[in-house]
Amino acid sequence: ELVLKVRIKTPNLRENDFIEIELDRQELTYKELLRVSCHELGVNPEHVQKIRKLPNTMLRKDKDVARLQDFQELELVLTVSDKNLLFRVPTLSEQSGYNKKASELMY
């Protein structure tokens, strides 16, 4: 297996952690990288404009993917114009465990 670190390019979020994904070394193709990355990150592959090997190299073809080494960092650059729809942080009242009455208490 080839282990890669992948994240979504989101400049508006303070925390943008990488996740680790595994690819079978027998199937090191651009298509497989895109499929696994999107599946793990919960992104529609149609919304991916490009895959960037950090800091500044665009992956374009199977040969680019075949040259990747363990723990290299990749970013998915999305084409969606309103990224807030994809990565909207829930408000406090939308989070599970939120108690509206408790939030109105004054101390």
- The answer to whether residue 57 scores a pLDDT higher than 60 is yes
- The answer to whether residue 18 scores a pLDDT higher than 60 is yes
DSSP of 5-16, one letter per residue? Answer: EEEE--TT-S--
- The answer to whether residue 66 scores a pLDDT higher than 90 is yes
The encoded tokens of residue 45 equal: 């592959």
Q: Which domains does the chain have, with CATH numbers?
A: 2-78 (3.10.20.90)
The pLDDT score that the predictor gives to residue 93 is 44
**What mean pLDDT do residues 29-34 have?**
96
**Band (81; pLDDT cuts 50, 70, 90):** low
Burial group, residue 4, by CB count within 10 angstroms (0-12, 13-18, 19+): buried
Provide the CA 52 distance to its chain's centre, in angstroms: 12
Supply the pTM of this predicted model: 0.71
The encoded tokens of residue 47 equal: 């919304």
